[in-house]
Amino acid sequence: MRHLLSTTDLDRAAAVRVLDTAAQMAATQGRQIKKLPTLRGRTVVNLFFEDSTRTRISFETAAKRLSADVINFSAKGSSVSKGESLKDTALTLQAMGADAIVIRHQASGAPHTLAHAGWTDAAVVNAGDGMHQHPTQALLDAFTLRRHLAGDAGNPDGVGRDLAGLHVAIVGDVLHSRVARSNVDLLHTLGARVTLVAPPTLLPVGVGPWPAAVSYRLDDVLAQGPDAVMMLRVQRERMSTAGGGFFPSPLEYTRLYGLDARRLATLPDHSIVLHPGPMNRGLEISADAADSPRAVIVEQVANGVAVRMAVLYLLLAGDGDTGAAPATGAVPALTSVPTTATEVSPR
């Protein structure tokens, strides 16, 4: 694989490989000297058509920790119908010698178009496109879940393991959420069971074939004792769109779908709470829940850097020859290979 566009691009082995690589990256981030020389001389462009300081900083940190040169290209508002086209931007970055383009775009499919239109040779990493996918978010969520729910004393990161048997509830605005789409696909690939919880107005028509159960009632799902609850951000502008909004009032939403102290208390002891951030405290999550010991929201941010380091490493560190070779143990980027300490490594 040359790009990371969607979590559907990853089979189980490839996903575990990203998580295992991220575990090694995370280990380096506890050191005094966090910078590695691995991607020296490579250029990573953060191409953001949509504001997202958090995601951009996370990718920027990841690239810099691997010694890549980082160019931040904020193209907000210059995509659709005005200003420079995506094509011309891509041609410009190609001319500048970008090795990877990390793209955030409000249009679903823009990273796919960038990767496949023939405008650039760079590896394309989807940092969130419209209502489609946000694969590195799903990977960092999976990494966090694995560390908390599949790790043990001998293997704290759960290296080599998947998420088989875990039950994850994803709660909130599934309709507009690329985080939800990415997570449903990846969690399913890793063997977890997913339940989507949302008011019917915030679930897509066509959700039927998704590998996830659907519920309109949060309390019913919490009563099943999920291992993790992932709260999605509810944007306040959803209140003012066509038809007068997707739900009657923030209060009603909070009452039915907000995670508060009372609901938190009903969860099993080992359950954890995730949120991709930024949070709307008091809307989808209360301060009690957000700040509770079982909330791993700040840890998700730290894990985001490790996961993005892993993705950049897997896409950029090798010779780009991803076609042949598994027969001799060569490792195509982002595809599967055993990663235990006793493997027979290629030379």
Catalytic residue set: 54-55, 82, 104, 134
- CB of residue 215 to other proteins, shortest distance in Å: 17
What is the β-pairing status of strands 213-215 and 228-231?
A: unpaired
- Closest CB to other proteins among residues 88, 219: 88
**Encoding tokens for residue 60?**
């920027």
- Closest CB to other proteins among residues 95, 341: 341
- Closest CB to other proteins among residues 160, 277: 160
- CB of residue 229 to other proteins, shortest distance in Å: 23
Provide CB contacts within 8 A for 26, sequence distance 6+: 143, 157, 302, 303, 306
- Closest CB to other proteins among residues 128, 226: 128
- CB of residue 168 to other proteins, shortest distance in Å: 19
**Distance (Å, rounded) from C-alpha 137 to C-alpha 180?**
10
Residue among 155, 158, 217, 232 nearest 192 (CA): 158
- CB of residue 204 to other proteins, shortest distance in Å: 4
**For helices 297-316 and 53-65, angle between their N-to-C axes, nearest 10 degrees:** 50
Question: Residue 213 forms beta bridges with which residues?
Answer: 195
Provide CB contacts within 8 A for 74, sequence distance 6+: 48
